[in-house]
Structure 1
């Protein structure tokens, strides 16, 4: 199990790199945020970092070409343990619900403390209070 100090350092690294910055597919998006969080705790994220895209359509093509229906299936293939979102610790990855018909199926966020998450909303990465979870993964 990863120590809470390492988890705190990983979440701070995510805040430093992403918080307050605008969304840019392939550079600053939810996949890159999740991959950065995994990297900072020493986990591999090849499925998340292998994508070379500059548009959302390119990201969808990568997911489909890799044989996955959506981001949830891709994250399951990374090999992380799936957990209830309420059990997430700082640094864990939480999938948030997207509008019906969204091709990604979810938005990946990083759990912070006190029930908050770091994720993209309205084109900016920011600290949010989650409303609708899909699932979560222990890092």
Structure 2
């Protein structure tokens, strides 16, 4: 498969898995979506050290249990390469302000759209939102 085909296949699998599943901390949230997506991209991701959590505070504590202070630190620690927003390609990861004081991870879908959870549509699961992220990482 070409890199673009890998990216497209991973996004399709991620959308199929999480579309229509309501947001739930520790079960269906941006970290779980990003981990699933990265696995589909061929990364060896283990979030078992994070343990379980059911709130934003619990999610922040899970990040610390994994040895990081923030979500951007965690993504850097996975060996992903930070890139400028202008270089985003299909399937790359972004971070922006999220819910309850914790940053949110999204998957770049193209034309300024990011797949993620939106506070006005948490019951709908993964949706496409327009946003300019604070940080971005290439997944290939």
Give TM-score scaled by structure 2 length: 0.84
- Confirm whether residue 64 of structure 1 aligns to residue 61 of structure 2: no
Q: Which position in structure 2 is the counterpart of 1:5?
A: 5
SS at structure 2 position matched to 1:26 = coil
How does 1:31-46 map onto structure 2 within 5 Å? 31-46=31-46
Q: CA deviation digits over 1:66-100, x for unaligned, max 9?
A: 3322111111111111111221111111111247x
- Confirm whether residue 52 of structure 1 aligns to residue 44 of structure 2: no
Q: CA deviation digits over 1:51-75, x for unaligned, max 9?
A: 2223123221121233322111111
The answer to whether the 8 Å contact 2:89/2:110 transfers is yes
The answer to whether the 8 Å contact 1:19/1:118 transfers is no
CA distance in structure 2 between the aligned counterparts of 1:114 and 1:63, rounded to whole angstroms: 30
Structure 2 unaligned regions, length at least 5: none
- Confirm whether residue 126 of structure 1 aligns to residue 127 of structure 2: yes
CA distance in structure 1 between the aligned counterparts of 2:16 and 2:49, rounded to whole angstroms: 23
The answer to whether the 8 Å contact 1:26/1:51 transfers is no
Q: Which position in structure 2 is the counterpart of 1:15?
A: 15
Alignment RMSD: 1.9
Give TM-score scaled by structure 1 length: 0.85
- Confirm whether residue 115 of structure 1 aligns to residue 112 of structure 2: yes
Q: 1:44 to 1:50 in 2, by over 3 A?
A: same
CA distance in structure 2 between the aligned counterparts of 1:81 and 1:6, rounded to whole angstroms: 18
- How far off is 1:3 after superposition? 1.0
Structure 1 unaligned regions, length at least 5: none
